[in-house]
Chain A
Amino acid sequence: MAVRVALAAAAAVTKERLMILRRLYLSVFLLAFAGFAFAGVLPEDRADVLYHLYDGGGVEIDGPSILVRKKVGKSVSLVGNYYIDMVTSASIDVVTTASPYTEERKQWSLGADYLRGNTTMRVNYTSSEESDYDAATYSFSVSQDMFGDLTTLTLGYALGDDLVRRSDDPLFERDLDKQMYSIGVTQILTKNLISTLNFETITDEGYLNNPYRSVRYADSGSALGYSFEPELYPNTRTSNSVGLRARYYLPYRAAIEGEYRYFIDTWDIEGHTGSLTYIHPWRDFTFTGKFRYHNQTGAHFYSDLFSRSEATNFRGRDKELSALTSYTVKLKAAYELLSDDGNDWGFIKKASVSASLHLLHVDYDNFSDLTALQPIGSEPLYQLDADIFQIFFSFWY
């Protein structure tokens, strides 16, 4: 490199000076706009206030989420998040085997990033509390930037310690332990193309089934022709997933992203997920459109209708474990309220508001809609439609 620079300098001093000026100009430009994923840079100081609403399949979940991130000195960045789900549920499972309910889930997390040279270390603690479920997750990851900051390698580990309870039985308590291992590579491929490859293994051990959910079995003694009994899942589950994303800067100022994920686990669920995203800025707006497709096979112990009571060692009728196909269309608009041009609002340098709508549709291949009250075996397959709305304000300081 030095030889090449020397030769270039000897050949054309003027050209070299122009190159240096160009580099300086672009360095300033990069410092102004970078901050997210390039090497050796801590995340920006930023706060987000979000409201979310999920409405579909008889379930309504809404609440706020607040995330604040702030640097402390030059090498540490702290982050905190507080999140609430307020749930009103009369889902297909609840309607057919239980009673509608309301509940609240509160989650908070604290984390820190420590930057040393080209290495970033992150620790995070997350706590989630419901009336009948507590979850604690401890995570650690380390990222190393390499090859002139073209490559970022990240290794991660997380440990989950959950406690499952029943609201109608104060003596019921079961443990669930989770361990998550991940490795990811983010790679700049060309001046216009960045990609990331992530591999993640998750192992669960403990009480994995839902204590309220039931399976259906054929029962000639019942007026409906079937009855219900509690689910019984295996006590372990290990899943592997690999995901590849690539984002390309188009010849005009817009970007396109493709993503694919392959998933497989020890319950015989195999899934393929793909999505295509288009991002288009216009004046102070940024518009995003996305289509996502997911297809999976069902768990080996899943059945919509078991032949008899206790027909198999393990049994489940959780519709998420059925073979299914889901489609999502996402529309998002973001508006820059305050641009990063020096006209600050006090200590706030930049601000934006974003709104997004996800339209989710799920076709279940093996989960009957029992509310149709059709003769056993001829019930229609269930379909889920859900609207997921988010609005959030972001502030940089």
Chain B
Amino acid sequence: MTMNIRSIARILLAALFVAGLSACGPIEPWVKPYERDKLADPIMALDADAVSTSYIQHVYESREGARGGEGGAGGGCGCN
């Protein structure tokens, strides 16, 4: 049983090593540029309206104790 666990551990380590080596090689983009038409649709824009998003983030930061982690630029708060 112990041998089996050791064998599995060795195989896993070898697999990780090989995976690590392959990570050093060039990575082929798995979504080609010509396959990104849906991602380029305006409905897929993660921050389509920066002026509106920054305003509502400011409101949440003023009304809740949490902040950050949402991406996008910060700014002066003046929440006094």
Contacts and interface: CB of A to CB of B under 8 A. Distances in A.
Contacts, number: 210
A88 interface: no
Contacts of B44: 194, 247, 249, 255
A326 interface: yes
Interface in B33-59: 33-52, 55-56, 59
B76 A162 contact: yes
Given A247-B46, A249-B41, A392-B51, A54 B69 contact: no
B55 A194 contact: no
A296 B61 CA distance: 13
Size class of the B contact interface (CB-based, 8 Å)? 35 or more
Contacts of A72: none
Dominant SS among interface residues on chain A:
strand
Contacts of B55: 50, 52, 65, 83, 390
B71 A320 contact: no
B65 interface: yes
Interface stretch (A9-17, A25-33, A214-222, A368-376): A25-33
Contact of B69 (A129, A147, A242): A242
Interface residues of A, number: 106
Nearest to A297: B65
B75 A196 contact: no
Contact of A67 (B30, B51, B62): B51
A128 B76 contact: yes
Contacts of B36: 30, 38, 188, 191
Contacts of A243: 69-71
B31 interface: yes
A95 interface: no
B66 A390 contact: no
Contacts of A109: 75
18 contacts: A22-B34, A23-B34, A29-B37, A30-B40, A37-B46, A50-B52, A133-B80, A160-B76, A182-B68, A189-B31, A191-B38, A202-B68, A211-B80, A241-B68, A261-B69, A273-B66, A279-B43, A320-B63
For the complex of A and B, list the 5 residue pairs with the smallest distance between their C-beta atoms, beginning with the closest.
Answer: A148-B29, A241-B69, A135-B76, A128-B76, A200-B68
